[in-house]
Amino acid sequence: MRTLLDAPSKVEKRPVMGRSGPRLKRSQREALAAYLFILPDALGLAIFVALPMLFSLSLGFFSVNGFGGFRFVGLANYQRMLIDPLFRQSLWVTFVYVLILVPALYVAGLGLALLVNRPMPFVGVFRSMFFVPNVVSLVVVALTWQVMLVDKVGFINRIFEFFGVSGYSWLGDPNITLYSILFVTVWFLMGYYMIIFLSGLQEIPREYYDAARIDGAGPAATFFRITLPLLRPTSFFVLLVSLVSAVSGSQAFDLIYIMTRGGPDNSTSLVIFYIYQQAFQFNNYGYAAAMASFLVLILLIVTFILFAVTKGGRFHFT
């Protein structure tokens, strides 16, 4: 059977029985084939990613009940956002979370990559060991750390006790809990960023290091004058991905849902968790969407700033 996707054949000029309409030129066929190839994914992305994105911007102007009824409420949801102390608190928690997580991941990822980028026995095994937390689900990670961080008798407190430090409530003290979550997040993600940095490091030509050694450059000078500048595209990627995933709570949501539920005293209630609670616990879909669109705005601004500062990751020297 011949279809429109078939390549042109030598008998093209001859009229084919049973085929109606004009035959397509080769370039037209190629384009048609391409559109058909892309169609399933394009349609899916449009419906399940782009549409919700646009939908979230308009949903904020409605009140939505649990059965799918919509009522236009104008700016009411946005006004509520301004006076909601829990929303303001969640913004602050998110700010602290992002401010610590992004640099911590950068340092941990790059540090590990530098550590395992040199020849040493078992280096492949070590790389795998640093990466392995990343293949376990965040639910399992959350549950495991929750047991280990239990007050008094938990494994972590036993270790601290051994060194004469005791009495910390890692998931019960509002001043500490966010940092416990941050620690677990870094533990989970550092291996992933290690691999990204490793591939960046391995792209740097060896000659630069040889030349530096001949010139008598020490390890510090080599790192700041060669490694760091040449890693800039990788750094940009790492900063962008870690920033976006930190603001949108890609890892934090699962951890917080299992370990703290936003507590104690709302100290771990990230915006993304508060939005989820408002939507699916209190059925305030419209209000949740209004907050989500605010979050999207923040994401756009942050991404824009990152692109502007780094000139799209190209980072030319001054």
Partner 1 sequence: MPEPTAQIHAARPSRNVFRRLGPILLFCFTAVLAVLTVSPLLWMICASLKPGDETFSPNMLPQHWTLENFQYVFTASPFWRYMINSFFVAGTITVIALWFHSMAGFALARLKFPGRELIFLIIFSTFLVSLPVIIVPLFILVRQMGMVNSYAGLIIPAIFNAFGIFLLRQFYIAIPQELQEAAVIDGASYFRIYWSVMLPLSRPILAALAVFFFLANWNAFIWPLTITNDRNLWVVQIAIASFHQQYSSSWNYIMAGSAIIAVPTLLLFFIFQRQLVESIKTSGLK
Return the residues of window 152-191 that contact partner 1 according to CB under 8 A: 153-155, 158, 187, 191
- Alpha-carbon separation of residue 33 from 6, 9, 22, 238, 306 (angstroms): 9, 16, 17, 36, 38
Which range of residues in 75-83, 96-104, 171-179, 270-278 is near partner 1 by CB under 8 A? 270-278
State yes or no: residue 42 binds partner 1 (CB under 8 A): yes
> In terms of CB distance, is 92 or 280 closer to partner 1?
280
Which positions ≥6 away from 249 have C-beta within 8 Å?
94, 256, 270, 271, 272, 273
Binding residues for partner 1, rule CB under 8 A, total: 97
Contact 149, 180 (CB under 8 A): yes
Between CA 9 and CA 26 the distance in angstroms is: 10
> In terms of CB distance, is 79 or 128 closer to partner 1?
128
Between CA 113 and CA 104 the distance in angstroms is: 14
Between CA 183 and CA 145 the distance in angstroms is: 10
The mark string for 115-154 relative to partner 1 (x by CB under 8 A, - otherwise) is xx-x-xxx--xx-xxxxxx-xxxxxx--xxx-xx-x--xx
Q: Which of residues 285-314 bind partner 1 (CB under 8 A)?
A: 285, 288-289, 292, 295-296, 299, 303
Which range of residues in 27-35, 77-85, 168-176, 205-213 is near partner 1 by CB under 8 A? 27-35
Q: Which of residues 65-124 bind partner 1 (CB under 8 A)?
A: 68, 112, 115-116, 118, 120-122
Please name the amino acid found at residue 55: F
State yes or no: residue 1 binds partner 1 (CB under 8 A): no
Annotate 25-45 with b (16+ C-beta within 10 A) or e (fewer). Answer: eeeebeeeeeeeeeeeeeeee
Residue 284: CB atoms within 10 Å = 20
State yes or no: residue 254 binds partner 1 (CB under 8 A): yes
Which range of residues in 32-40, 82-90, 98-106, 175-183 is near partner 1 by CB under 8 A? 32-40
Q: End-to-end alpha-carbon separation of the chain, Å?
A: 62
Which range of residues in 26-34, 72-80, 93-101, 304-312 is near partner 1 by CB under 8 A? 26-34
State yes or no: residue 5 binds partner 1 (CB under 8 A): yes
Contact 194, 109 (CB under 8 A): yes
State yes or no: residue 248 binds partner 1 (CB under 8 A): yes
Q: Which of residues 217-246 bind partner 1 (CB under 8 A)?
A: 233-234, 237-238, 244-245
